[in-house]
Amino acid sequence: MKKNIIICFSVIFLILLTVALTFAIVNSNYNKTYSNINSVKYNGWLHTEGSKLKNEKNEIIQLRGLSTHLLEFYGPLVNRDSLEYLKESWNINTIRVAMYTDCDNYGYIHNPEINKEYVTQIADWAIDLDMYVIMDWHIYNDNNPQKYEKQAQSFFDEMSSKYSNTPNIIYEICNEPNGNNVTWDNHVKPYAEKIIETIRKNSHKSLIIVGTPNWCTQPEKAMNNPLNYDNIIYSCHFYSGSHGKQLQDSIQKCIDNHFPIIISECGLTNATGNGKLYKENFNNWINFLNKNNISWINWSFSNKNESSALLKYIPVTNGETEAERNKKIEVTDDMLSEAGYFVKDILTSY
């Protein structure tokens, strides 16, 4: 009888031990999958290897996130609370800080200090939240990145010095080179070489994103004459109402030739950022990106009066500016636009 009791207790103990170990393993895997796997703490410094973007453990990583809009208008929407909301509720691991350089008397060229303040404050909040940050030199009206090359060197020298030992920071040195006369060989590549040297002087391991010609739709131009530096990734932009198989084929050719591509900006509309939402086309793009482990950043985390904006438009009142209005807005699910709900559903499906 005593022997049977001992055997019984031994069996119960083994069962409980097995349950406890199983729970510990499952919980560990859960934490790795749903918490750590997206964090900078887990992934560390990023690097390219062939066409793949990898973390410090040499594992493939896909950055997924949102881009801000013109900081002097929509920067106040991005605070620590809204970033935490996006990280926890949208499942993003990256915020792209789109600092316009020259846009109708706004941007860094006209107001350098206020733009730097927005960039560094958002970056510091994101670092505190264990997220990646893309510092985007958002050329637009300037067309040719060489136009403000000296100012870009000054900005990236300051930022790469300030964040030299910070794996969270990624530098995007020219948003969308554009204009019929702006080429990779004669304009973008020479500019990129100077800015990369500036950044590498201070930060040897940071990932650097380089734009490609014609609004970042000609990655093959860069593939045919690549930059001779490590940890460089080339940007391509798509809007699902304007870009489809032809651009996908161009990207696929780059991937097949071991040339790294990132979608540092994409949207649900046509290239104007407004009009109809092309949801089916966008889903096709997401399937293509996931198949190739290509990172993507959606445009835009703003409440601009256009359909690509992820937040509802709220008119300004009583003579206030858009920035003053946006300081008072608490970003929640109730504030999402049709595009916002759609993109959130995609991000939370990962």
Q: Please identify every residue annotated as catalytic.
A: 176, 265
Let me know if 225 is exposed, middle or buried by CB neighbors in 10 A (0-12, 13-18, 19+): exposed
Q: How many helices (H) and strands (E) does the chain have?
A: 13, 10
Tokens of 197: 């040297």
Report yes or no: 79 and 37 within 8 Å, Cβ to Cβ.
no
**Alpha-helical segments (H) within 183-298:** 189-202, 213-216, 219-223, 245-256, 279-291
Tokens of 243: 């870009």
Between CA 54 and CA 51 the distance in angstroms is 10
Please name the residue that has the structure tokens 């996130």: 65
Distance of CA 129 to the CA centre of its chain: 15
Phi-psi region of 343 (alpha: psi -120 to 50; beta: other; left: phi over 0): alpha
Report yes or no: 99 and 108 within 8 Å, Cβ to Cβ.
yes
Tokens of 100: 């316009």
For residue 89, which of 301, 243, 278 has the smallest C-alpha distance? 301
One-letter identity of residue 124: D
Between CA 267 and CA 316 the distance in angstroms is 25
Between CA 350 and CA 339 the distance in angstroms is 18
3-state SS, one letter per residue, for 265-326: EEECCCCCCCCCCCHHHHHHHHHHHHHCCCCEEEEEECCCCCCCCCECCCCCCCCCCHHHHH
